[in-house]
Structure 1
Amino acid sequence: MSWLWDRLSGWQQRKIETTARTELVRLTGLVLRKEDAPGALAERLEARIAQSGGLVMIREPFAWLLSRGLVQRPACSDTRCDDGIRLDTNEACESCGNVIHIRRAHRARLGAQLDQEQPGLPTAERRQVLEERLREHTEHESETRERRHAAQRAQSERMRTAARERAAREHEEAAAREAARHALPCADCGSKDAAGLCAACSRRRELNSVITEAGMCEVSWTANPNRPDDVATVMDRVRTEILDRVTASVDELRTALEADGVAIADDPSFPDVATSRGLRAAREAAAEYRITALAQLARTRQAQTESRYAYAAEQSRSHHRHAPTGPDTIAAATQAAETARARAAEDLLAQRLERLRTQHTPLATDAERLVDALTRITGGAA
């Protein structure tokens, strides 16, 4: 082996080393144990040297190592086959045996046909004719295989072309749909090319949604859902309170900017900034209404019952039985009770909100009041 290595130049040695490392990594996934990979590669080199007639017969070591010495030569379709030997078991490859059996059977069949067609043919002439027919059969198989591969390549190309055309068509359809969507008028105010909803109406819808959710949170514990007048009164009060907070928040921003000498009327970004600030104030107010509702619902009989059950269940756990009234047990039971109470309040709120959403719709005056609120926020048309 060293004789081959010494005949390589520096860059050839580096190339061979890289190739050998790559082959070792590949062999690791084929042999039974990864530590057997170096031995398998060494055995392959020794076998290839013997097949070549010894080291002295290798006239170009670099090309020989890359094309014959280091590469696997499967004699069949099995990826573990190397010159008819299984890399994982180091035994004869069964797939190669099947191929050889098929070839022998075909040779026997051709021989039988030849004997039937030309009985008494001399041995030498019979062998020549048989070899010629075997060669023709091999060429025919090769041509058939090539035609099959060409048909498969053509089919694959047709499929790729169809896929590209389909993707282009879908892209065009999506672009047409997007253009049509952008051309839709606003569903609320009728503005053209608003993609179905203009920015002003989108803000109004968002503000209305936040206020409605906050109002329903307030209704969930302060009003009888079966009395529409009571529900409408609470919703109207919450709406007024949140709109007042929105206006106050934007007024603070306007006052601060004017104090800093900013000309709001000449600032095109002020309406968007003011709207964002107003919506944030509305969301903060809605969050407060939700927190209040959860706190009130946590005091209901259902929540208190869930709390007591959780407290007793935690206290009766096996690891607390030795000290049911100890400080650790009491602390764990209290924590479990608080968790159960909060979860019960969440469930109650979700149930009541779902019922309110089903039974009640926003008031008819909501849109007008929201337009007025947004007009005050931006200092112009909503």
Structure 2
Amino acid sequence: MNGWLRISIALLFVTLAPEDMLRADQLDAAVGKALFDRQWIPAPASTKATDGLGPLFSSRSCTGCHSRGEGAHLVTRDDGQADISGAVVRFGKGDGTTDPFYGLQLQTDAVPTLMPEGQARFLPGLKYNLAGPALADGVHAGVRLAPPLFGRAAFDDVPDEEILKRADPGDRNADGIKGRANVTAQGIGRYGWKAAHVTLNDQVAHAFAIDIGLSSPKMPFPYGDCTKLETACLALPNGESPEFDGREISSAMLGYIDSYLKTLRAASDAANSPGAAVFGAIGCASCHVQTLATRDGRQIPAFTDLLLHDMGPSLDDGVGEPGVKSSEWRTAPLIGHRLPSEQRRFLHDGSAATVEEAIGKHGGEAEHSRNLFEALSPDDKRRLAEYVNGLR
């Protein structure tokens, strides 16, 4: 977005009457969608509003991982084999320490004159190669899928007390479920596979920095995930500009994308379906809570408690985050999927091809529900899977 457009939008807000505020919201969302769809280019460029890509990056745009607001999905590689689009490789130790050379994420693309850090394939299992040194001792690699975005923005409206009332780290009721909130320095996390980000705005800023390599006031890193050991990356120009709060993405631009994401709403739950009854009977809803209350008293579709749960060894890839063990995951929201189930992969790493396979990998705090699922009749298993696949 160039300067004249920003000024025009600001003047529009000044002159709006109260009854026209909906139009202003719609304008914000339209600008946000344009930024969401934008293909960023390397700096320096004649159009400063579009440069700053990388120098190392995983995608040139938000739509590269979230086409039409959807998430990771199956594609066919050039060799005719299936793989996952919208997946990345994360590096880390159990305590959240990242790799000293590669940083947090394997960057599979780069601006001209710079080599990518490596390449990855995700199916039938993760295989990757590195263009530089081996990972440091104790650093593991784990896959993370881009989630669908429908319904996610509403989690901003969920108050802390709504999250905390379900937390039970000491398992006071002895049901084996010990959910806990991820209490960060900025507040209680809601976004990300391990609830690392408190607000939607935080999550958007993080994605711009780590996935695309664009700095913002919240993530002031013009070289993205490039580490101090990647000197060739650090030697390249960046796109920071006074026009954008001294960064490559301004606070206003982050806000416009928030406005767009708020238009991507989840559908209502088919609560009376036979699958819903099975879902509740075996305890899935204890963590995948169907609705959450907002600050203004609304009930929003959620299918998550936004808490961290230890999911056992089958879902432990050794890659933790600060304050969150590698076996702990925020309950994944089951809402917002628009893709047919046969085009999707399940779990944080896409290691499950079906709902049934995903449940089979649930351990730790979800072990009891998994055992109840395995004891169901074939018809009830089918009903539950159809219910989960149908959540929109």
Q: TM-score band (shorter)?
A: under 0.3
Question: Normalising to structure 2: TM-score of the pair?
Answer: 0.17
**Rg comparison, structure with higher value:** 1
Q: Larger RCO: Structure 1 or Structure 2 (Cα < 8 Å, ≥ 6 residues apart)?
A: 2
Greater strand content: 2
